[in-house]
Amino acid sequence: MIAIDALLLLIATLLVWGVISEYLFVKVGIPDVLFLILAGIILGSQGLKIFTSDEILASSFTSLFTTFALIIVIFEGGLNLNLKSFFKDFKRSAGIATVLYLTSSLFVFAVLKLIKIFEMHTFALLAFSFLVTGTASIVTYPLLSKLKIKETVKNFFKIEATLTDALSILFVITFLLYMQEQKRLSAETINLIIKNMLSSASIAIVIGTASAFIWLNILKKIEKSEIFSNYKYLLTLAYIFALYWFMQYYGGSAPIAIFIFGLILGNIPTISKSFNINLSQKIVGKAIFASTEQLSFVLKVMFFVMVGLLWEFNILTTLTALGLLLSIILIRYITFTLIKYEDKWFLSSFMPKGISVVILSLMIIDYGASKEVLTTAISIVFYSIILASLVAIIKERWFNNEDVQHINPNSGKV
């Protein structure tokens, strides 16, 4: 185990490396995440062996860090999203994202069932299939932040990531619970699962919205206090963590609720005008935006280094992971072709996964799945991020950023 003083020096080095990586991203166009993942590989089992994947996964800190990072990144994503463009794009983007997620998941399930690479219960296999096909907010948001692409496309990816973050957690837990109760896959079971998903999302939207307005009123009173006003950001963080706990405890979708909460706090002028209420953006203040951005950066650095630390090369695992990723790309490409989106290659292949895939894979293993599920999940996360980064480079350097457009409702074209 690395000594505390050496660990502090390492963290300091990684933070500086993170700043340098972002500088190189801006100047050279190579995504910073690639440099951060490389640092993780060098420090991990494939390099200096300072950390091993087993040590990281065995640590309770990993799960805590992942949850903490997810909360902050989703909050920042909502905070920095334009409300008008979000609602303009939401219905269409959410519909497409849901279709992509469901069809990709079922296709992956069919492929895994056919090749029988994992010997496990049907519900456990469904859980894994629905886990690896979504995109991750914690990766998508940082990658998009520096890309010069149309706002509508950024909105689509953000909506897709937030939605599939929530759906992945809900589906995995639901499938494993049905497995524990020894239920069979049937039309009745599927109907109950769909109802649970819709109920969870609806609860999250309502509570996320209500929580935001409650907190805005509290912030107005905090602003008047000479002492409490200095701790506005910390109190907001505490409120977000409490909101996450509340949603988890009462069965709503925590990611969706936090995203809506951030969206409202970041768009107070629009909210005030729409609801004819007297609120100013000063209530939230620049400190919350700046502090969230800084904290999100630190978490991003640690997250991508962790991806590199966890990855271990294995030919069979690599082939399985790449095969599943290609299956997902194929379904996405077919879907975007059918709805006549242009730039299908970019929309199809930009689908990074997050560490939550690894954490939830551990849960699936607890229900009797083999360890190959975990190693495959780690490889899928690793290669999907590498692929998304390379696609971002290609898009940024060699293709016109104006090519990806909205679907024109009159023509059906992009």
Kindly report, residue by residue over 131-140, the tens digit of the pLDDT.
999 998 888 8
Q: How far apart are CA 103 and CA 130, in angstroms?
A: 10
As given in the structure block, the two tokens for residue 78 are 């909502």
Query: Quick one: pLDDT at residue 29?
Result: 73
Kindly report, residue by residue over 206-224, the tens digit of the pLDDT.
999 999 999 988 988 888 8
Q: Does 231 or 368 have the greater pLDDT score? A: 231
Query: Quick one: pLDDT at residue 87?
Result: 76
Q: How far apart are CA 370 and CA 54, in angstroms?
A: 15
Residue type, 60: S
Residue type, 312: E
Q: Within 10 Å of residue 149's Cβ, how many Cβ atoms?
A: 20
Q: How far apart are CA 287 and CA 284, in angstroms?
A: 8
Helix/strand/coil for 260: helix
At residue 401, does pLDDT exceed 60?
no
Q: How far apart are CA 148 and CA 141, in angstroms?
A: 13
Query: Quick one: pLDDT at residue 404?
Result: 39
Q: How many residues does the chain have?
A: 414
Q: Within 10 Å of residue 404's Cβ, how many Cβ atoms?
A: 21
289 within 8 A of 79, measured Cβ to Cβ: yes
Nearest to 43 by CA among 312, 271, 360: 312
Q: How far apart are CA 41 and CA 312, in angstroms?
A: 9
Which pLDDT band holds residue 411 (cuts at 50, 70, 90)? very low
Mean pLDDT of the chain: 84
Residue with tokens 């973050």: 165
Kindly report, residue by residue over 63-95, the tens digit of the pLDDT.
788 888 888 888 888 888 777 777 777 888 889
At residue 251, does pLDDT exceed 80?
no
Q: Within 10 Å of residue 121's Cβ, how many Cβ atoms?
A: 18
305 within 8 A of 39, measured Cβ to Cβ: yes
Q: Within 10 Å of residue 7's Cβ, how many Cβ atoms?
A: 12
**What are the backbone dihedrals phi and psi of residue 266, each rounded to the nearest 5 degrees, phi first?**
-85, -5
Domains of the chain: 4-398 (1.20.1530.20)
CA 227 to centroid of chain Cα atoms: 35
